Structure 1
Amino acid sequence: MDPIQHIPLDQIDAAALPRDRLDLDPIALSDLTLSIAAHGLRMPIEVFPATGPLPYGLISGYRRLIAHRELNQPTIPAFIRQPADIPAALAAMIEENEIRAEITPWERASILLTALEHGHFATLDDALPALYPTYDRFRRARLRAVVEVVQHFGPTLTEPLSLSQQKLTRLAAGLRAGLGPVMDVALAESSDRSPATQWSLLSAILDEMEEEARHPPPPYRKDRPRHYLRTAMSLTIRRERHKDGWLLRFTGRDASGPLMEDVMDYVEAWLGGGEGGELPDGSAVWHLKNRCGSRRPGG
């Protein structure tokens, strides 16, 4: 076994490798810091000889290193490893964290994407078996699906680390069914970016997809069903399945009270026994049509 070295903290580059831990629990980190202060470090960190500005790069033990810096310790016990290359060092980091830490599915997918972006692997097919060699075919397929979700929703979701494997798998199925645009519209048109609201918007779309898979609806006209419609630059209409029926969501600057009154008049004339379904000149819809001139269909 390699001997334990006591390496100065200022000689260790914690960012030499992309990390698979995207979030540090402040309470857990505080508990670890107090434990180290009281009892010392029980498990040394792992480093490797680096070629950057600092002589060592961190493989494993990120929280332990941070705790030592919080305690203003001059050195930290460490094993010096000799990985064949950066991909091998990444694999060692992931292996250690899979044992010692609760890594979320989102974090696993993110480290794969980061490794690809840094040029450590040519393709995802190369990265998956190298970084997760113990994963069977089924687990790799699930992780590949999560990679698609991270690629699509990475900049959009507020707290993606909280998403379970089941939710991520459902999102991946929605993307593969072509529902990415309507999910994007649902998130973009909502002013509430809380995780609960974001998931409620997405799950309603996924619920409809799954219900139609169980009970296929009658054939629609060409290019249907239409999940949303942009009638103007500042008006979006999106349909949404609800447990009690259906909702039409009107969002944008032109989603005004008078416009809703006109829409109700039109619906009443069309479905409620009225005649013609035409709106009078001077109505909000009439003004909107004449101001915007055209509409842009959605998906």
Structure 2
Amino acid sequence: MAKRRQLEVPSAEALKEIEEGFARETPGPTRRAPIADVAADAALHADPRPLADREDQARTAAEIEAFKDAKARGLVAVELPVEEIRADALSRDRVGLNEEDMAELRRSIADHGLRLPIEVFEPSNPEGAGKYALISGFRRLAAVRELNELSGGQRHQTIPAFVRSPDSLAAAVVAMIEENEIRSGLSQYERGRAAAVAVHEGVFASVDEAVGTLFSSASKAKRSKIRSFALVHEELGDMLRFGPDLSERQCLRVAAGLRAGQSENMRQALESHAIGNADDEWAVLEPLIEAIEGMAPDPSRGGRPRKVVERSAPVRLANKVTMERVQTEDGFAIRLRGPHVNEELIEQVMDRIKYLLEEI
């Protein structure tokens, strides 16, 4: 059996040595353990509010950021004074407004307010294009303005609008046409007119480019037809009073007549007849079209019209004569139109041009 070890009382020297070693290993009153620093930092940054309040604040902050982003992208409607919006900064694709439809729209807005905001953008030249330029909502803006006038300026002073930021003028025109195609389809003539006007105003370099961009979602066959509608506006736009009333087939027949060389005959006929409605206008054009329908194509015309590369905006003189510069693939032409344009005047113009060219 092993002997139990006897406990001995340490000496004074041994106790002193133990105390000194303990003092070396234990932090003094000026030092803190690392865990104390962690606890203090956590207490400093702790949010004393209840968890539900903190969640509400986080949700509100996220909603504010989402609102700012939506507003920057033009997805938030704002109230704009109607007098600060210029409707004709872009040439409108829609030619006329049906008074019966407008009366119905005015009643709806007066009774229920405007359900769908218009679209505008801030042009880079506000001194010329206005503070806000209209993209879409021409009929809605017109109806609100009419209601404002009817109220003596007391009501309908503002209109809800989305302020967009289109990448280019072409993008704004595309947005305008897309909106009208979806809400209330354009007539065949209006589609062609939109493409032709966009070229005349320098938005696109050619009718082909304008049609390809403005009606990119249309089929190849439909784009081909729209190019024909554009030709009708280019050749007869200043003469046709009821162009938007032409059906697709009528537009295509007119375009075929123009390609066959009936442009001047059509213009003279329209100018010399009293036209009161769409039927009168078509009655003037149809005989000229029928005269060339069924005829064999003229080989001298090459089977395809010369492609118009560029056409200047018409210049109207004080005597009602209109001048227009046309560039085709093989040269330039100056087109003169008006009541005073006849063979004698053309001969005088040719003599002047000859004199100028010989002096170069």
In structure 2, the partner of 1:43 is 116
1:196 paired with 2:264, answer: no
**Once superposed, which parts of structure 1, at least 4 consecutive aligned residues long, lie more than 4 Å away?**
191-194
The answer to which of 152-161 and 177-186 deviates more is: 177-186
Maintained 8 Å contact 2:242/2:281: no
Task: Identify if the C-alpha distance between structure 1 residues 209 and 58 changes in structure 2 by more than 3 Å, giving closer, same or farther.
Answer: same
Maintained 8 Å contact 2:106/2:144: yes
Q: In 2, Cα distance between the equivalents of 1:32 and 1:188?
A: 35
Of residues 199, 220, 228 in structure 2, which corresponds to 1:116?
199
Maintained 8 Å contact 2:78/2:162: yes
| Structure label with greater radius of gyration | 2
Scaled by the length of structure 2, the TM-score of the pair is 0.56
Determine which structure has the larger helix proportion and give its number: 2
Maintained 8 Å contact 1:157/1:195: no
- Which AA in structure 1 matches 2:175? A
Q: In 2, Cα distance between the equivalents of 1:42 and 1:163?
A: 32
Maintained 8 Å contact 1:49/1:56: yes
How far did 1:148 drift? 1.1
Maintained 8 Å contact 2:120/2:136: yes
Maintained 8 Å contact 2:82/2:159: yes
Q: CA offsets, 1:166-208, max 9 Å, x none? A: 0010011111122333333443444556543332232223223
Of residues 61, 69, 75 in structure 1, which corresponds to 2:137?
61
Q: Which runs of 5+ in 1 are unaligned?
A: 217-299
- Which AA in structure 1 matches 2:81? P
In structure 2, the partner of 1:126 is 209
How far did 1:152 drift? 1.3
In structure 1, the partner of 2:240 is 157
Maintained 8 Å contact 2:191/2:226: yes
How far did 1:86 drift? 0.8
1:3 paired with 2:76, answer: yes
Q: In 1, Cα distance between the equivalents of 2:146 and 2:267?
A: 41
Task: Identify if the C-alpha distance between structure 1 residues 178 and 46 changes in structure 2 by more than 3 Å, giving closer, same or farther.
Answer: same
How far did 1:71 drift? 2.1
Q: In 1, Cα distance between the equivalents of 2:253 and 2:102?
A: 32
In structure 1, the partner of 2:85 is 12
1:107 paired with 2:175, answer: no
1:71 alignment partner, SS class: helix
In structure 1, the partner of 2:310 is none
Q: In 1, Cα distance between the equivalents of 2:89 and 2:281?
A: 34
Counterparts of 1:195-234 in structure 2, within 5 Å, are 195-212=278-295
Give the structure, 1 or 2, with the largest relative contact order (CA under 8 Å, sep 6 or more).
1
Task: Identify if the C-alpha distance between structure 1 residues 68 and 175 changes in structure 2 by more than 3 Å, giving closer, same or farther.
Answer: same
- Which AA in structure 1 matches 2:262? L
The answer to which of 64-73 and 161-170 deviates more is: 64-73
In structure 2, the partner of 1:146 is 229
Maintained 8 Å contact 2:269/2:284: yes
In structure 2, the partner of 1:237 is none
Task: Identify if the C-alpha distance between structure 1 residues 135 and 77 changes in structure 2 by more than 3 Å, giving closer, same or farther.
Answer: same
Q: In 2, Cα distance between the equivalents of 1:123 and 1:66?
A: 31
Task: Identify if the C-alpha distance between structure 1 residues 186 and 17 changes in structure 2 by more than 3 Å, giving closer, same or farther.
Answer: closer
Q: CA offsets, 1:20-60, max 9 Å, x none? A: 11101111111111111101111111111222233211111
CA RMSD of the aligned region, Å? 2.1
Task: Identify if the C-alpha distance between structure 1 residues 13 and 190 changes in structure 2 by more than 3 Å, giving closer, same or farther.
Answer: closer
Q: In 1, Cα distance between the equivalents of 2:246 and 2:166?
A: 33
Q: In 1, Cα distance between the equivalents of 2:114 and 2:157?
A: 13
Maintained 8 Å contact 2:122/2:132: yes
- Which AA in structure 1 matches 2:284? L
Scaled by the length of structure 1, the TM-score of the pair is 0.67
Q: In 2, Cα distance between the equivalents of 1:174 and 1:62?
A: 33
Q: How many residues align?
A: 215
Q: In 1, Cα distance between the equivalents of 2:198 and 2:113?
A: 33
How far did 1:209 drift? 2.5
How far did 1:81 drift? 1.0
Task: Identify if the C-alpha distance between structure 1 residues 186 and 76 changes in structure 2 by more than 3 Å, giving closer, same or farther.
Answer: closer
Q: CA offsets, 1:55-89, max 9 Å, x none? A: 21111111111121122212111111111011101
Seq. identity, %: 40
